[in-house]
């Protein structure tokens, strides 16, 4: 990067002239129109339903607060937190060492809040007679070694493997827990979110996909993995092999009494637990 220290100074100047007016209108610290009462959330689509429901709930309690939720992927959430462009990053994986050190370099101290636990369910079309796959079978399917359901004792139908986009925490989690060292075959289709993955599976008879537990419904069929069915119990007890915690990361521990603090600890409240449960995730609390 240091090789291009003074790149086209003239262009810079013209740029300065051209957009000076604009820059004057909007001071870079964004002092204009900035409301005190706002919380910006960015990050994972998996945590999206939780953050959106929390935002909805919180804004109803505090109508003067504006909470924006961007669902642009876990990596993007981390980036936004490091750049100071969001207050809390929703992530479906833990921060990577590089991200962490980049944050520290920028004077940002990421603090993790575990919001909920999520299992990654392997789903197929409901007409598919399969009921169980082993982890290694799933791995072989996604690696392209198994291309037909008949190879795992199912009907003679081509397998359409559907994966989450590689920028998602769900993908990385699946990659670590299931694929391990194997690489996902090129013929795998990529979709942008859990909702899209489920939608593609429910409309494609030969499809297999993986979605967060919160996205399971009657339109798709979740397979047991290693004979363990994915449900809140098996996920909490750790029997289900493909599960991970979901995080909200903040810069330092949020100030007590701030809206951000209230937001990132909402999952610890009874209402928060209810929201998480009714969205199909596994809460970290046990109110009865």
Contact 128, 154 (CB under 8 A): yes
Contact 56, 104 (CB under 8 A): no
Largest CA distance in the chain: 69
Select from 115-123, 162-170, 229-237, 239-247 the region that touches another protein (CB under 8 A). 162-170
The torsion region of residue 144 among left (phi > 0), alpha (psi -120 to 50) and beta comes to left
**Minimum CB distance to another protein, residue 1 (Å):** 6
Of residues 35-94, those binding another protein (CB under 8 A): 35, 38, 40, 45, 48-49, 52-53, 55-57, 59, 66-73, 75-76, 78-80, 82-86
**Residue 110-129 contact track with another protein, rule CB under 8 A, x = bound:** ---------------xxxxx
Of residues 3-42, those binding another protein (CB under 8 A): 3-4, 7-8, 11, 14-15, 17-19, 22-23, 25-26, 28-30, 32-35, 38, 40
- Structural Rg of the chain based on CA atoms: 22
Select from 134-142, 199-207, 228-236, 246-254 the region that touches another protein (CB under 8 A). 199-207
Select from 132-140, 160-168, 222-230, 252-260 the region that touches another protein (CB under 8 A). 160-168
**Minimum CB distance to another protein, residue 116 (Å):** 14
| Local structure of residue 224 (DSSP, 8 states) | E
Contact 167, 173 (CB under 8 A): no
**Minimum CB distance to another protein, residue 128 (Å):** 6
Nearest to 212 by CA among 281, 137, 113: 281
Give the contacts of 205 (CB within 8 A, at least 6 positions apart).
125, 127, 128, 157
Of residues 243-272, those binding another protein (CB under 8 A): 271
């Amino acid at each position: 990067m240091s090789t291009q220290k003074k790149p086209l100074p003239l262009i810079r100047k013209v740029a300065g002239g051209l957009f000076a007016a604009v820059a004057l209108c909007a001071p870079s610290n964004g002092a204009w129109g900035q409301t005190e009462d706002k919380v910006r959330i960015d990050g994972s689509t998996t945590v999206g339903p939780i953050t959106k429901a929390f935002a909805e709930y919180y804004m109803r309690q505090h109508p003067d607060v504006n909470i924006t939720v961007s669902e642009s992927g876990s990596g993007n959430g981390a980036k936004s937190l490091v750049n100071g462009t969001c207050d809390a990053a929703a992530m479906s994986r833990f921060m990577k060492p590089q991200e962490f050190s980049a944050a520290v370099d920028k004077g940002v101290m990421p603090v993790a809040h575990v919001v909920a636990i999520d299992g990654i369910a392997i789903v197929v079309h409901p007409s598919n007679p399969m009921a169980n796959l082993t982890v290694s079978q799933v791995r072989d399917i996604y690696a392209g070694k198994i291309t037909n359901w008949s190879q795992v004792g199912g009907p003679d139908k081509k397998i359409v493997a559907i994966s989450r986009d590689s920028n998602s925490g769900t993908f990385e989690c699946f990659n670590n827990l299931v694929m391990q060292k194997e690489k996902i075959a090129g013929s795998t289709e990529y979709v942008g979110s859990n909702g899209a993955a489920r939608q593609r599976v429910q409309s494609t008879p030969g499809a297999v996909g993986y979605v967060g537990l919160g996205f399971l419904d009657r339109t798709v069929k979740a397979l047991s993995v290693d004979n363990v069915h994915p449900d809140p119990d098996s996920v909490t007890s750790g029997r289900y092999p493909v599960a991970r915690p979901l995080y909200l990361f903040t810069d330092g521990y949020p100030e007590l009494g701030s809206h951000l603090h209230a937001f990132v600890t909402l999952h610890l409240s009874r209402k928060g637990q209810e929201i998480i449960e009714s969205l199909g995730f596994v809460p970290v609390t046990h109110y009865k």
